[in-house]
Amino acid sequence: MLNKNFFFIVFEGIEGSGKSYQSKKLFNNIKKKKFPVILTREPGGSIGAERIRDLILKDYFHKNKNQTFHKYTDTLLYLAARNEHVQNKILDAKRRKKILICDRFTDSTLAYQVFGKKVERKFIDVVHKYILNKIKPDITFLLKVKMSKAFSRLKKRKSKNRYDKFSRSFYNNAQKAFIKLAKNSRSKYYIFDNSTDDKNLEDKILKVVLSKIK
């Protein structure tokens, strides 16, 4: 049976949690079952948003810290990328009644910018009010991980970006923020510990999704 409604699935977690891997696995598993599904990511996901993503990543590697973006400029760039993504990818998927799987969404902004960089949440909430078009995930999968495992996975990455180079304390605080957001939200969250490379995790995630879309 094909899904006949837009369904929005988000994966959240720190670097090394396996969220990108599991989002791709879910995409492939759903696609095999002939459901109309799209895989995307943030920041990025659309042509304009990917251009902004590239700008954000390049900024982080300035050797002179005086040349890097102020934290609010950085946050605005993330939000600008989100607006492009919503307008050109997410709303289109909604109109076409697709299943949309997104690697990161609003919780990452809150965990990293608000809890991590101490940007005022009200600032982000006001912008979200105008750009989200009431879009909310139907399901959010939060993958938590032991710090030792996360860093072990990061070391194996052939190419790294800004997200892979924060301190252990930053990742630890970000993960606590993700868990806090999940527990305080009325939205549907599923928290899985992905520290052990459980081969059954993708099946567990698929089972949850299929129970909601069939």
pLDDT digits (tens, 9 = 90+) for 55-113: 988 765 555 666 688 999 999 999 999 999 999 999 999 999 999 999 999 999 999 99
Give the confidence band of 214 by pLDDT, cuts at 50, 70, 90: confident
Contact 7, 99 (CB under 8 A): yes
What does pTM read for this prediction?
Answer: 0.92
Q: What is the pLDDT of residue 61?
A: 53
pLDDT digits (tens, 9 = 90+) for 131-179: 998 999 999 999 999 999 988 888 877 666 666 667 788 899 999 999 9
Q: Cα separation of 161 and 159, whole Å?
A: 7
Q: Cα separation of 74 and 43, whole Å?
A: 12
Contact 25, 143 (CB under 8 A): no
Token pair belonging to 39: 């895989």
Identify the structural domains of the chain with CATH numbers, from first to last.
7-213 (3.40.50.300)
